[in-house]
Amino acid sequence: MTASTTVQTAAGRRSSLSLWSFGAVAIAAVVLAPILAVAWIAVFPETNIWPHLISTTLPRYLGNTLVLMLSTGLVTALTGTGAAWLITRYEFPLRRWLEWLLLLPLAIPAYVGAYALVDLLEYAGPVQTGLRALMGWQNARDYWFPEIRSMGAAILVLSAALYPYVYLLTRAAFREQSGAAEEVAQSLGAGAFERFRRVGLPLARPAIAAGVAIVMMESVNDFGTVDYFAVQTLTTGIFSVWLQSGNAGGAAQIACVILVLVVVLVTMERISRRKMRFFDLSRGHRRAIRKELHGASAALATGLVALPFLMGFVLPAGVILEHALDNAEEWLDPRLLSATLNTLMVGSIAAVVTVAGGVFMVYGVRISRQRLPRLLMPVTSIGYAAPGAVLGVGILIPLAALDHGLADAVQRMTGTDIGLLLTGSAFALILAYCVRFFAIAQGAADAAMGRVSPNLALAARSLGRNQGQVLGAVYYPMIRGSVASALLLVFVDCVKELPATLLLRPFNFETLATRVHEQASLENLGGTAPAAILVIGVGLCAVGLLARANR
């Protein structure tokens, strides 16, 4: 090879590296821009209502949000950890089935569970109607029944929908623990509860903390459940201040409070894990042997493990399915077809763009020798922690300003009014989905590429392949399974996302999630059921994939 050829090759390599590095940085900038926009709008609002918020509604929003977060986290920690311990340490009837059935509530959005619970327990529902007929009561004054639309009901619904996050991570932690430690504890006279408290629980604590952190972030993000139960949280405050009062700056300030909560939550979880470390010192790892239960103990274990599944999946799915069958004509509603097509369109585009961006960024960071892309990649996962309502504020306000400026500029130059191209279409909605779920695609791509030997890429490069050809010919065939899984997971999350969709959808644009919310708000559960069934069906696909990956 001549000197000039060597110089050209080196220049081409630097050009390739700079292109991939620039692309990775650009993707990170797009993902982080809405978060930065929220902070900017909050610090420099057109009308500063911060003092008014602090003296009136903000304490109530913040207090309700903290109660909801902490209570839901506590209930899911108890439920998920208890179920995981029983599943991994004991043998009882239906254990093998329940091990996977406990994941099914992930397929049902919490807001669907809220609609089903109210339909079941409200005054005209089958439970209270049956009680009045059985006891001879005439009206509500003759008996006491708990308030359905309340904070307690919201905590119950969210816990039933979100406990699988804790269960899944904790079950994996319990399964990986060596049986030797428990045998030593048992030989020292420790009973079943003592072995759980002193051996199993401390070793699984990082997994429990991670699961509870996810649950708390999802609780902050929730809008459909708390709105239906009339619980005023920070998320509902964004909708009230922005859409009802017309104050974008105030909405951004509330959004910043949510971001601070999320950052504090994530930081505390990571610090707590850093302070406590546990190691398996046994040479031969052997799983704990499950103890077989009999009689009343076996029945009690089956009932305790089955209860979360019944509350989180059977109850809401059963109620919604009954309404779907009783209102078969709703399946022929043209608006349902339109909402389905819209959902498929925006969800598919967002999934493809998100996963492609995730793969590009991870690959660009891996081949880049520059520090900036490596520093930015972990930060891009903050989009998944940011609630959809927060992203809605950070995306819609800057895009609207850009949209109006672009339309005015084109009209001045050409005399043609092009309208609102960005906010008047599904562009803003797709962008929000990409930012919100980018962490899923990035994590899947990073894990998959980490399993590919770098020697394969070096061999391809030695044969004259450029970086793009290496990605297509070497990496893609080996990571396409993970890419397909990421596509499905991102698509499912797009289908279920409600707050960002409500804020960013174009006028007269419905998705399955917004149709479910709209019909339920009108107390038309019959009209809600078909769209809800479709959302649940899509969710079941993702749960099946998750169960297959965690066998």
Instruction: Give, in order, the Cα–Cα distances in Å from 231 to each of 53, 66, 149, 314, 487.
Output: 17, 12, 8, 25, 34
Q: How many structural domains is the chain composed of?
A: 1
Show the domain range for 258.
Answer: 45-177+205-277+293-318
Average pLDDT over residues 247-266: 86
Max Cα-Cα span within the chain: 100
Q: Which residues pair with 287 in a beta bridge?
A: 178
Give the best-scoring range by mean pLDDT among 13-27, 144-158, 275-289, 409-423.
144-158
Average pLDDT over residues 208-219: 89
Please give the structure tokens belonging to residue 534. Answer: 């479709």
Average pLDDT over residues 471-491: 88
This prediction's pTM = 0.86
CA distance 163 to 312: 9
Whether residue 444 is predicted with pLDDT greater than 50 in this model: the reply is yes
CA distance 193 to 200: 10
- Ramachandran area for residue 141 (φ above 0: left; ψ -120 to 50: alpha; else beta): alpha
With bands split at pLDDT 50, 70 and 90, how would you rate the model's confidence at 24? confident
Q: Which residues pair with 347 in a beta bridge?
A: none
Q: Which CATH number fits the domain that encloses residue 78? A: 1.10.3720.10
CA angle 465-468-471, nearest 5°?
A: 95
CA distance 253 to 250: 5
- Is the residue at 253 inside a domain? yes
- Ramachandran area for residue 522 (φ above 0: left; ψ -120 to 50: alpha; else beta): alpha
- Is the residue at 331 inside a domain? no
Contacts of 277-280 with C-beta under 8 Å, sequence gap 24+, read 278/202, 278/203, 280/177, 280/178
With bands split at pLDDT 50, 70 and 90, how would you rate the model's confidence at 273? low
Closest to 356 measured CA to CA, from 444, 465, 233 = 444
- Is the residue at 486 inside a domain? no
Task: List all residues 6 or more positions away from 446 whose beta carbon is below 8 Å from its beta carbon.
Answer: 362
Whether residue 469 is predicted with pLDDT greater than 90 in this model: the reply is no
CA distance 183 to 286: 11
Please give the structure tokens belonging to residue 149. Answer: 């639309």
- Is the residue at 359 inside a domain? no
pLDDT at 158: 96
CA distance 62 to 237: 10
- Is the residue at 394 inside a domain? no
Q: Which residues pair with 291 in a beta bridge?
A: 90
- Is the residue at 362 inside a domain? no
**Burial class of residue 311 (count of CB atoms within 10 Å of its CB; 0-12, 13-18, 19+):** buried
Whether residue 198 is predicted with pLDDT greater than 80 in this model: the reply is no
Whether residue 491 is predicted with pLDDT greater than 60 in this model: the reply is yes
With bands split at pLDDT 50, 70 and 90, how would you rate the model's confidence at 4? very low
pLDDT at 188: 57
Candidate from 76-85, 129-138, 261-270, 354-363 with smallest mean pLDDT: 261-270
**CA atoms within a 13 Å half-sphere pointing along the CA-CB vector of 176:** 15
Site of tokens 């070497």: 474
Percent of the chain with pLDDT over 70: 89
- Ramachandran area for residue 295 (φ above 0: left; ψ -120 to 50: alpha; else beta): left
pLDDT at 190: 63
| Helix or strand run (H / E) with residue 90 | strand 90-91
How many other C-beta atoms are found inside a 10 Å radius of the C-beta of residue 329? 9
Alpha carbon 454 to chain centroid, angstroms: 32
- Is the residue at 421 inside a domain? no
DSSP 249-286: HHHHHHHHHHHHHHHHHHHHHHHHHHH-------SS--
Instruction: Give, in order, the Cα–Cα distances in Å from 83 to each of 78, 154, 270.
Output: 8, 22, 24
Whether residue 187 is predicted with pLDDT greater than 50 in this model: the reply is yes
Percent of the chain with pLDDT over 90: 40
- Is the residue at 56 inside a domain? yes
Whether residue 185 is predicted with pLDDT greater than 90 in this model: the reply is no
Whether residue 276 is predicted with pLDDT greater than 80 in this model: the reply is no
Per-residue pLDDT of 84-136, as tens digits, reads 989 988 899 999 999 999 999 999 999 999 999 999 999 888 999 999 998 98
